[in-house]
Amino acid sequence: MYCIAEDCSFGWTPFGVECFKFFSQTVDWVRAEKNCQSLDANLASVRSKAQNEFLMSLVPVNTRVWIGGHDAEMEKQWLWTDGSPFDYTNWCKTQPDNYKASEHCLEISYTDKRCWNDQTCTTTKGYICARDRI
Ligand SMILES: [Ca+2]
Ligand SMILES: [Ca+2]
């Protein structure tokens, strides 16, 4: 469901009940979440295939970005930073692999299939913030 532009601040794009913005500045995952929080937002969560495709429309191809999924507290127990249920997923084949037992953060637009990968949280990428519509 798309809504009128006035529902979001300038530069943010509405989808469902939220507004989204892609930031190309590359930072680690914790800094990305903190930057979103400073804007009264969180790193984006994904609840449907349609929303996943919407997020891809915000991101240049061949550009991996952080969103709000993490399993840092307990391995394989994925959570969203905004507290919503972790139901929908779009993992790449063989992912998440927790490579070297050190991958606990979620990057999207991974490979030309633009699927999801668990990645080391200290690597730097652009990111997508989401906040409730105003
Ligand atoms: Ca992990
Ligand atoms: Ca991985």
Q: What is the distance in A from the centroid of ligand 1 to the CA of 24?
A: 24
Q: Which ligand is the nearest neighbour of the Cα of 77?
A: 1
Domain spans of the chain, in order of start: 22-129
Contact predicate 8/134, CB 8 Å: yes
Q: What is the distance in A from the centroid of ligand 1 to the CA of 70?
A: 7
Position 4 scores a pLDDT of: 54
**Given a cut of 60, is residue 116 above it in pLDDT?**
yes
Q: What is the distance in A from the centroid of ligand 1 to the CA of 11?
A: 33
Position 2 scores a pLDDT of: 54
Q: Which ligand is the nearest neighbour of the Cα of 107?
A: 2
Position 65 scores a pLDDT of: 98
Query: Quick one: 64 exposed, middle or buried, by C-beta within 10 A (0-12, 13-18, 19+)?
Result: middle
Q: What is the distance in A from the centroid of ligand 2 to the CA of 34?
A: 23
Spatial separation of the C-alpha atoms in residues 88 and 23, rounded to whole Å: 23
Spatial separation of the C-alpha atoms in residues 70 and 66, rounded to whole Å: 10
Question: Mind listing the pLDDT tens digit for each residue in 19-68?
Answer: 999 999 999 999 999 999 999 999 999 999 999 999 999 999 999 999 99
Q: What is the distance in A from the centroid of ligand 2 to the CA of 8?
A: 33
Say yes or no: domain 22-129 is CATH 3.10.180.10: no
Position 91 scores a pLDDT of: 98
Reported as a pLDDT band with limits 50, 70 and 90, residue 88 is very high
